[in-house]
Structures are given as structure tokens and as C-alpha cells.
């Protein structure tokens, strides 16, 4: 059966492990695509332009905002991040599922414009674990780490704006839950109306067979 792909929006506080969960999901579902965002932040060690992000300067980013090229964009920790509109729309129309791994501000913007999306919030099993994971990255200064932890804590309250919560205790379990969510979403009646019409059209509706 053809039809539109599913837009899967995944957010969660910094340190919840959403990146790892998304990567594992993509490994198991190579037909699903991850939207690569554009950002004005500098690449971290090992990050590659066009793979992790499109790294661009503020001027370029703001020009693209003016040209309405983003499905959503937000400033996170002082840097711009945005989702390329054309890529996402094109891929969904061609029937591919697309994952957006974006922050809460961005997810709320997408929710306004795109009611068919499925919005998943990844949470850590405990706040201690969250702190450990943020520290474990070792890529930021102490001040930056504290800032990330504080904002992660604040971000938790936005969970009520999402459709699903996935606790990321073990990555495999979190991935399995996302697989279940995707499967259930694809079975929703409102997503299958055209299939239903086709099915119904194939029935001989002549009730004389009962007489
Ligand atoms: P990082 O700098 O650690 O890669 O990402 C910082 C935050 O920005 C994360 O919460 C990440 O999910 C979010 N982010 C990444 N890409 C986008 C995007 O295109 N739009 C929005 N709104 N947030 C993004």
C-alpha cells in the first residue's frame, strides 16, 4: 500500500539519549530517513558537514529564514537550528517515514502546522542518570553543563504537549517502544481512509443475496 510516510518528531531533554535511540532505530529501519538540520553552531570533533548537520553561518541561516525554507527553526543555547522544509515534504509524499530529532520549541512549531505528525518525548530513567549522561559527554565547559542540566530539567514539563513518552533506560527497549508506536500510528483509521474506501468499493453491495 502506498500513501504518505509518517513524520516522527523526537524530542527530549539534553542527555536523555535521543540521538542514540534515533541512530539505533535508523539502523534497524534503513527505509526511514533522518532529516539533517542546519545549524549555526560550530562542528564538534568528528562531526561532518552534511552528515550530522549542515553547518552554516548566521547570515546564510537568516537568509533562508526569510526565504521560508524551514519547516521550523529555533535558537537553542544561542545557536540557530532548523529543519529543511523541502526535503521533509518531498520524502513524506514519496511514502518514506522521516524522523526529526529537534528541540521542544521546534517540535511545537511542527505540531501547529502538521497535525499528522507523531510526537515522541524521550525521558531519562532518573535525573541522576540524566546528569551523568550530560557530564559523560565531556565536550562542554562546567558552566555549559550546568546550563544544559537546568534547561533539561525545565524542558521536562513540556511532556504534556507530546503524544508518547518513552523512557530511555535501555536503548533496545526504547527503540522497541518507538517501533510499536510507529506500527500503531500506521494502523490508525484516519490514516487509512483511502485504503478503506478502496476496500469497500470492491464489495458487491447488492443486498438481494440475502433475500
Ligand atoms: P546539539 O547542539 O547538541 O547537536 O543539539 C542541541 C539541541 O538542538 C538538541 O536538543 C537537538 O535536538 C536540537 N536540534 C537539532 N536540530 C534541530 C532543528 O533542526 N530544529 C530544532 N528546533 N532543534 C534542533
Query: What average pLDDT does the structure give for the chain?
Result: 92
Tally of domains in the chain:
2
Is any ligand 1 atom within 6 A of the Cβ of residue 72? yes
CATH number for position 204: 3.40.50.300
Distance from residue 203's CA to the centre of ligand 1 (Å): 49
Question: What is the position in ligand 1's atom list of the atom closest to the CA of 106?
Answer: 22
CA 93 to chain centre: 17
Q: What is the pLDDT of residues 26-54, one digit of tens each?
A: 999 999 999 999 999 999 999 999 999 99
Distance from residue 173's CA to the centre of ligand 1 (Å): 23
**CA 119 vs CA 78, 114, 153: distances in Å:** 24, 11, 19
Do 5 and 72 lie in one domain? The reply is no
The crossing angle, in degrees rounded to 10, of helices 127-137 and 142-155 is: 140
169 pLDDT exceeds 80? yes
Matching residue, cell 547570515: 59
Longest dimension (CA), the chain: 81
Do 149 and 69 lie in one domain? The reply is no
Q: What is the pLDDT of residues 118-166, one digit of tens each?
A: 999 999 999 999 988 888 876 678 888 888 889 888 999 999 999 999 9
**Closest among 120, 104, 102, 106 to 6, alpha carbons compared:** 120
Distance CA 211, CA 193 (A): 31
Is any ligand 1 atom within 6 A of the Cβ of residue 111? no
Question: Residue 204: its pLDDT value, please?
Answer: 66
Is any ligand 1 atom within 6 A of the Cβ of residue 52? no
Distance CA 29, CA 200 (A): 32
Question: What is the position in ligand 1's atom list of the atom closest to the CA of 41?
Answer: 2
Contact 20, 113 (CB under 8 A): no
Do 78 and 177 lie in one domain? The reply is no
Residue 75's DSSP bridge partners are 80
- Note down the domain range covering 60: 36-96
Do 65 and 130 lie in one domain? The reply is no
DSSP state of 49: B
Distance CA 23, CA 88 (A): 18
Q: What is the pLDDT of residues 60-81, one digit of tens each?
A: 999 999 999 999 999 988 999 9
Distance from residue 159's CA to the centre of ligand 1 (Å): 17
Question: Residue 59: its pLDDT value, please?
Answer: 98
C-alpha cell of 153?
A: 530539567
Question: Residue 1: its pLDDT value, please?
Answer: 41
Phi, psi of 66 (to 5 degrees): -60, -35
Do 129 and 210 lie in one domain? The reply is yes
**H or E element that contains 71:** strand 70-76
111 pLDDT exceeds 80? yes
Do 83 and 164 lie in one domain? The reply is no
Is any ligand 1 atom within 6 A of the Cβ of residue 130? no
Best substitution site from 48, 72, 81 to test ligand 1's pocket, by max atoms within 8 Å of Cβ?
81
Question: Residue 14: its pLDDT value, please?
Answer: 84
Do 23 and 112 lie in one domain? The reply is yes
Amino acid at each position: 500500500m502506498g500513501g504518505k510516510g509518517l513524520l516522527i518528531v523526537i524530542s527530549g531533554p539534553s542527555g536523555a539519549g535521543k540521538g542514540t535511540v534515533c541512530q539505533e532505530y535508523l539502523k534497524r529501519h534503513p527505509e526511514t530517513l533522518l532529516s539533517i538540520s542546519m545549524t549555526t553552531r560550530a562542528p564538534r570533533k568528528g562531526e561532518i558537514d552534511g552528515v550530522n548537520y549542515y553547518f552554516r553561518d548566521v547570515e546564510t541561516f537568516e537568509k533562508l529564514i526569510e526565504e521560508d525554507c524551514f519547516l521550523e527553526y529555533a535558537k537553542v543555547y544561542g545557536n540557530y537550528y532548523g529543519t529543511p522544509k523541502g526535503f521533509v515534504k518531498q520524502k513524506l509524499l514519496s511514502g518514506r517515514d522521516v524522523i526529526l530529532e529537534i528541540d521542544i520549541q521546534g517540535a511545537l512549531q511542527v505540531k501547529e502546522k502538521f497535525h499528522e505528525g507523531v510526537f515522541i518525548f524521550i525521558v531519562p530513567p532518573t535525573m541522576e542518570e540524566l546528569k551523568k549522561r550530560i557530564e559523560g559527554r565531556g565536550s562542554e565547559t562546567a558552566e555549559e553543563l550546568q546550563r544544559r542540566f537546568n534547561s533539561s530539567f525545565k524542558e521536562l514539563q513540556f511532556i504534556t504537549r507530546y503524544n508518547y513518552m518513552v523512557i530511555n533506560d535501555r536503548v533496545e527497549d526504547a527503540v522497541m517502544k518507538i517501533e510499536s508506536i510507529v506500527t500503531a500510528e500506521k494502523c490508525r483509521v484516519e490514516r487509512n481512509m483511502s485504503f478503506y474506501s478502496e476496500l469497500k468499493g470492491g464489495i458487491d453491495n447488492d443486498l438481494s443475496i440475502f433475500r
